[in-house]
Structure 1
């Protein structure tokens, strides 16, 4: 019976996390743009790109290292 059960793809949680992170980046970016955020540009770039990329890479490495 275990042979007929469908096997889950290991990266499904990563794909879900990717969608959630992209949704959060879009939301925060919109709020920064609509609210005329006074934060320096380098901080905005870090919040909208660097931090999510680092998070997604670490999450990806965690999921592919699991057996």
Structure 2
């Protein structure tokens, strides 16, 4: 699994960091998404998929 984010699209809602805190965080100054692990382990697949689904700006891309 490969994860990428588009920080320019991010609206700082924070759903990603709540759904998959091992993979996503937010910048303190503006809340923009920070990708912590571009190749997370497969056991995090469900939480990463949830983060992507919940993102209101569609700023998260997940590839198998």
TM-score by length of 1: 0.30
User: Highest Rg: 1 or 2?
Assistant: 1
**Is the strand fraction higher in 1 or 2?**
2
Relative CO higher for 1 or 2, CA cutoff 8 Å, sep ≥ 6?
A: 1
**Is the helix fraction higher in 1 or 2?**
1
TM-score by length of 2: 0.31
